[in-house]
């Protein structure tokens, strides 16, 4: 899902960068001091998650974890994910420096969306919370694939074909991310519900 260097046209890259900077600014403003260490730990987890490869048939996919990052951080998912993506681009050549803005939107946009859509479910009873958590992990990756396809469409690829290919390639990751998000929420609800912004 990381878009490489040189794939997208300059206007798409510039637009992505502008939106990403705006998102990071909002995220940093909304980030409380006492949540900074949590942001650091989540950034580290997001950074390393892409190195965990899930074998799917003959190919493999890596974890993304933007659903759980969004659920825990809200708007602060933008700076968290941006820092992790910068390091992934520099150290592992995932994505590229010029496509950082677009990649941040692809990963952090759905994270924030998931925060707004699914936090109300997390506060409810066990079954609803678990369903909400699964849906959050699942939807975040799905929306990421759709945004990536939209970015590629603006540079000339056919939207339906690319989005279908991306969604098909990530369907197992979506389910795995849903399950991981579910376990994380179940654990945090018992141990430290304050981390889930539900008090």
Partner 1 sequence: MMRTYLKRTPLTKAGWLYLIIGVILMVYAGPALGHGVQGRITPQTGMQVNASYDDGEPMAYAAVEVTHADEKLPFQTGRTDRNGCFVFLPDKPGDWRVVVNDGMGHQLSLTTQLDKNLELNKESGPEKTYGALSRPEKALMGIAIIFGLSGVFFWWRGRAEMRKVRDAKKTVS
The residues of the shown chain that bind partner 1, judged by CB under 8 A, are: 1-7, 33, 36-37, 39-40, 43-44, 47-48, 51, 53, 58-60, 62, 83-84, 87-88, 91-94, 148, 151-152, 157, 161-162, 165-166, 169
Q: Which residues, at least 6 apart from 22, have a Cβ–Cβ distance to it below 8 Å? A: none
For partner 1, the closer of residues 5 and 198 by Cβ is: 5
For partner 1, the closer of residues 86 and 123 by Cβ is: 86
- What is the C-alpha to C-alpha distance for residues 129 and 118, in angstroms, rounded to an integer? 9
For partner 1, the closer of residues 42 and 135 by Cβ is: 42
CB of 130 to partner 1, least distance (A): 30
CB of 72 to partner 1, least distance (A): 14
For partner 1, the closer of residues 8 and 117 by Cβ is: 8
Closest CA to 170 of 181, 159, 158, 162: 162
CB of 194 to partner 1, least distance (A): 19
Closest CA to 53 of 45, 43, 64, 44: 64
- What is the C-alpha to C-alpha distance for residues 67 and 14, in angstroms, rounded to an integer? 25
For partner 1, the closer of residues 123 and 169 by Cβ is: 169
- What is the C-alpha to C-alpha distance for residues 44 and 99, in angstroms, rounded to an integer? 20
CB of 6 to partner 1, least distance (A): 6
CB of 44 to partner 1, least distance (A): 5
- What is the C-alpha to C-alpha distance for residues 187 and 129, in angstroms, rounded to an integer? 12
Q: Which residues, at least 6 apart from 106, have a Cβ–Cβ distance to it below 8 Å? A: 1, 3, 144, 147, 148, 151
């Amino acid at each position: 899902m990381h878009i490489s260097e040189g794939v997208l046209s300059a206007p798409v890259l510039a637009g992505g960068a502008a939106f990403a900077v705006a998102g990071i600014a909002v995220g940093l403003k909304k980030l409380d001091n006492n949540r900074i260490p949590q942001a650091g730990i989540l950034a580290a987890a997001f950074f390393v998650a892409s190195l965990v490869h899930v074998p799917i048939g003959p190919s493999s996919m890596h974890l993304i974890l933007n659903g759980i990052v969004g659920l825990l951080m809200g708007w602060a998912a933008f700076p968290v994910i941006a820092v992790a993506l910068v390091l992934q681009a520099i150290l592992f050549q995932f994505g590229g420096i010029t496509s950082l803005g677009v990649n941040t939107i692809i990963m952090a946009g759905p994270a924030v969306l998931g925060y707004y859509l699914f936090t109300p479910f997390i506060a409810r009873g066990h079954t609803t919370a678990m369903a909400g958590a699964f849906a959050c992990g699942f939807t975040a990756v799905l929306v990421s694939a759709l945004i990536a396809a939209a970015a590629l469409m603006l540079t000339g690829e056919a939207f339906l074909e690319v989005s279908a290919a991306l969604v098909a390639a990530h369907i197992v990751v979506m389910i795995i991310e849903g399950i991981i998000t579910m376990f994380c929420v179940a654990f945090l609800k018992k141990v430290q519900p304050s981390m889930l912004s539900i008090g």
